[in-house]
Amino acid sequence: MNLVEALSADTELVCVVGAGGKKTTLYALATRLDRAVVTATVRIPIFDDRVADVRVTRDPVGALRTADRWPLGLVPERERDDRYLGYDRETVTAIRATKEAGTVLAKADGARTRLLKAPDDREPQVPATADTVIPVASAKVVGKPLAPEHVHRPDRVADLTGLDLGDTIGPTDVGTVLAHRLGGRKRVPSTATVVPLVNMVDDEELAGTGREIAAAVHDRADVARVVLGRMNEPTVVDVVE
C-alpha cells in the first residue's frame, strides 16, 4: 500500500493534526498527488521550498483558478520572517469546492515541534467539510517523561491518559491520545475518515512500539487502520488493520 492509499489522502480535503510530523506528512503527500494544494487553518512555517509555487493572497479561490504549477501553496499573509498565517475554516472549505483543486492538504493545529499533543479548547481548526483527518504522534515519545520538552500541552495529555506530569509515557498512553474524542479525533466531522499515523518509526524496536500504539488505538476507536511510517523519507513501515 502506497502512502496516499494508506493515509486515505486521495480525497478532496485532508487535514493533519497532532504532533511529530504534520508538516512532513503534508509535503510528502503533496508531491505524490497530481494536483495538490497545501494550506493551513493555523500558523505554518514558511514552506516555499516544499512546493512548486506559493501564493500569498486573501483571494485563494481566484489564485487557484489561475494556477499552473503544482503542488501549490495558498496562505493569506506572512506574519513574520519564519511563518505564514492560516485561513479560517470557511475559506478552506471554499478552496475545497473550487473545481481546479485536486486534493487540499491542510495543517489544522500546531505543536511547536513536540512529539505528542492534545488540543486545547480552540483546537484543532478542522473544517466541517474535511474528508480525511490524520492525527499524528511520534513513536519516539514512548519512554519519555510527560513534560513540556517532549509534549505540547502536557496537562491536556495528563487529563486524557490519567498520567501525572513527569510520568513515563507508554504506548497505551499515545494510543489513548490518538483515539480520544478530545485528542486526535477532536472536532472530526462524522463523515470524515480518520487514519492515525505513528511517525518516526526508524527501526525495528520503534516498529514494535508503533504496533503497540496501534493496538491501543484499535481498542479505543473504530478506525480502519493505523499507519506506521517515516515521513522524512517518506516510507510506510506497516499498516495495522
Q: Amino acid letter at 237?
A: V
171 contacts: CB under 8 Å, gap ≥ 6: 142, 209, 212, 213, 215, 216
Q: Where are the domains of the chain?
A: 3-240
Q: What angle do CA 89, 28, 176 make, to 5 degrees?
A: 65
**Residue 239 belongs to what H/E stretch?**
strand 235-240
156-187 pLDDT tens trace:
999 999 999 999 999 999 999 999 999 999 99
pLDDT at position 99 over 90: no
So what's the pLDDT on residue 22? Answer: 98
Is there a contact between 108 and 41 (Cβ–Cβ < 8 Å)?
Answer: yes
Strands (E), 61-199: 72-75, 78-80, 83-84, 103-107, 116-117, 132-138, 151-152, 193-194, 197-199
pLDDT at position 81 over 90: no
Share of the chain above pLDDT 70, in %: 100
Residue 134 Cα distances to 17, 81, 205, 219, angstroms: 6, 28, 23, 18
Q: Which of 3.30.1490, 3.30.530, 3.30.70, 3.40.50 would CATH assign to domain 3-240? A: 3.40.50
Q: Amino acid letter at 212?
A: E
pLDDT at position 80 over 90: no
So what's the pLDDT on residue 180? Answer: 98
pLDDT at position 189 over 90: yes
Closest C-alpha to 102, from 37, 41, 50, 57: 37
So what's the pLDDT on residue 68? Answer: 94
3-47 pLDDT tens trace:
999 999 999 999 999 999 999 999 999 999 999 999 999 999 999
So what's the pLDDT on residue 82? Answer: 94
Closest C-alpha to 134, from 218, 18, 233, 238: 18
204-227 pLDDT tens trace:
999 999 999 999 999 999 999 999
* CA dist., res. 122 & res. 86, Å (int): 14
Mean pLDDT of the chain: 97
